[in-house]
Amino acid sequence: MPSRRETIEMTPDEVRAYLKEQKRIILVTNGANGLPHPMPMNFGIDGEGRVVMTTFAKAQKVKNVERDPRASLLVESGDGYSDLKSVLMYCNVEVVTGAEAVAETMSLIQGSTSLSKDFSSEMSEQARASYAKRVVLRFTPFETISWNHTKLGGKY
């Protein structure tokens, strides 16, 4: 008989599908003072299955990642124990620069604003200026932990 942990763990395909349904993730970087620095972020999934997001290059989370290129990502949903789902990923983080990379990432983020149009000559100067100040954070998980309590069928 499988353990309860094995019962509620999501398969890699289930994790990918779950992440694609979600809009927001909690990014936790390691602060200079040794304390975790959690931030809610909108995110996307790139063609290789990595989590991507964009932020201003001068943001604290970028400074934290430049100092220590590891982070944790957490997505959760559900109102009660019986419908709780979550994915926790421990990741290596890469900072990617360039307006085209930012535009491509913005197109992958669910719920992104009108700034997410292709980086082209038709883009407004305001959008171009915003993209020039941004970077992409690309997360490659080295460990993923997941749980889906709906798999318990209401039996705890």
Task: Domain ranges for the chain, please list them.
Answer: 4-143
Q: Is 66 within 8 Å of 89 (Cβ atoms)? A: no
Q: Report domain 4-143's class.
A: mainly beta
- At 22, phi and psi to the nearest 5? -95, 155
Alpha carbons 2 and 100: distance in angstroms, whole number: 47
Give the tens place of pLDDT for each residue, 14-61. 999 999 999 999 999 999 999 999 999 999 999 999 999 999 999 999
Region 125-151: mean pLDDT is 89
Residue 153's pLDDT is 79
